[in-house]
Structure 1
């Protein structure tokens, strides 16, 4: 199982998309709203759909049938596992940084 770091500049948007989809399927605009609430920044369409395409290529997310001219996506089981690994890695890095700040 490869990680999200291979997505380069799309790794942060990819993590946010996957976190958004962990709560259930969403279409692009709903993901933008959810990510804006979660991270305080709304990803632009180019960033969002570029990351979505890369996540689909890796089978971390999948498109569902269109609903009212909107294309929802959901997190796959592989995507859920990759997201869990990435979030634990991020937590370990943040914990190490906070420990160093406390000592300094």
Structure 2
């Protein structure tokens, strides 16, 4: 997953302008984004943060497909939009729908791990 340095910094609870981060901190964030495992963990935390913004009353298992599309749309566009705006401007219905429809099913994951796809 791709995540911007500023978004990663915010997700990791470094606040303020990313340009004002200490060089060592910024380098550490960049190193974490280069590492695939850490990158996925940061992206997952960011998705959880987005869920908490738009659907604070739901845990991950309670999210509908539309909710997931909204979260994916906000992941792409940012959280400054309302749910209605994410749909109106096409973020949820475009990027969000594509992200949800392209998700890897358990069956497809098994195929990928066996090198069959």
Greater CA radius of gyration, 1 or 2?
A: 2
- Tell me if both proteins adopt one fold, taking TM over 0.5 as the criterion: no
TM superposition score category, shorter chain reference: 0.3 to 0.5
Q: TM-score, normalised by structure 1?
A: 0.35
Structure showing the higher strand proportion among its residues = 1
Between 1 and 2, higher relative CO (CA 8 Å, sep ≥ 6) is seen in 1
